[in-house]
Structure 1
Amino acid sequence: MNTITLYHNPKCSTSCKALALLRERGIEPVIVEYLKTPPSRAELAAIAAAMDGPPEMRVRALLRTKQPEYLAQGLDNPALSEAQLLDAMLATPVLINRPILVTPKGARLGRPLERILEVLP
């Protein structure tokens, strides 16, 4: 599978910069506007599994902590399980951090933006 997928929010400047960076390199990714078409539980879990960092922190890394819903739903509680965090993102897609680039080499959250370069072919 050689697909390069960008989980994108066109209203996010960082996400737009990620798309521009890819296009500057001649890469036209599959664009998933995740607020319109949220990933499934299996897709989110696969993205987390393909990320770097400690396995127990990968799902948490996908959470957008700056959203009011993050604190309102008590997602800052370190005792929450991965399943609970995935449930929260599925129920409230705005909690999914962005941009996320998924390639055959892995997945990276583009924060900072340059992190996506780590998984480019």
Structure 2
Amino acid sequence: MQATIWHNPNCGTSRKTLAILQERDGVDVTVVEYLKTPPPRDKLAQLFADAGMAPADGLRLRGTDAAERGLPDAGPDAVLDAMAAEPILINRPLVETEKGVRLCRPQEMVEEIL
């Protein structure tokens, strides 16, 4: 099984999720450090749609100015535009497999798509 993780190595939850993926037999992991290589806006839209989430549900609030900018209450296009422009606004880790996409907070959520 192929798995892609949009990862921040400075995030404990992201590191724990990556460890789960790497320890699982039969999982080929692609790691994308999304702060260095941000997903394009259309990929973000696809990830959130496949996860069954509104883009606002994938906003990182802690350590960002998302709340002050009104992004939690903004429409999906405004949120996606902001995330594409400033990837620090993307909550992590997002993991995609052939079984779906999850925002793995807590990290055990990755089990749902393995």
TM > 0.5 fold call: yes
TM-score, length-scaled by structure 2? 0.91
Would you say the 8 A contact 2:2–2:28 is kept in 1?
no
The total of aligned residue pairs comes to 113
TM-score, length-scaled by structure 1? 0.86
Q: Deviations over 1:71-103 (max 9, x none)?
A: 232213x2x210000011011100100011101
In structure 2, the gaps of 5 or more residues are: none
Question: How far apart in 2 are the matches of 1:91 and 1:67?
Answer: 16
In structure 1, the gaps of 5 or more residues are: none
- 1:48 match: 48
2:99 paired residue among 99, 102, 105: 105
- 1:18 match: 17
Question: How far apart in 2 are the matches of 1:31 and 1:87?
Answer: 23
Whichever residue aligns with residue 7 of structure 1, its letter is: W
Structure having the higher strand fraction is: 2
Question: How far apart in 2 are the matches of 1:9 and 1:73?
Answer: 23
Would you say the 8 A contact 2:83–2:90 is kept in 1?
yes
Question: What SS class does the counterpart of residue 5 from structure 1 fall into?
Answer: strand
Q: CA RMSD in A?
A: 1.4
Question: How far apart in 2 are the matches of 1:71 and 1:24?
Answer: 36
Question: How far apart in 2 are the matches of 1:88 and 1:69?
Answer: 11
Question: How far apart in 2 are the matches of 1:66 and 1:14?
Answer: 14
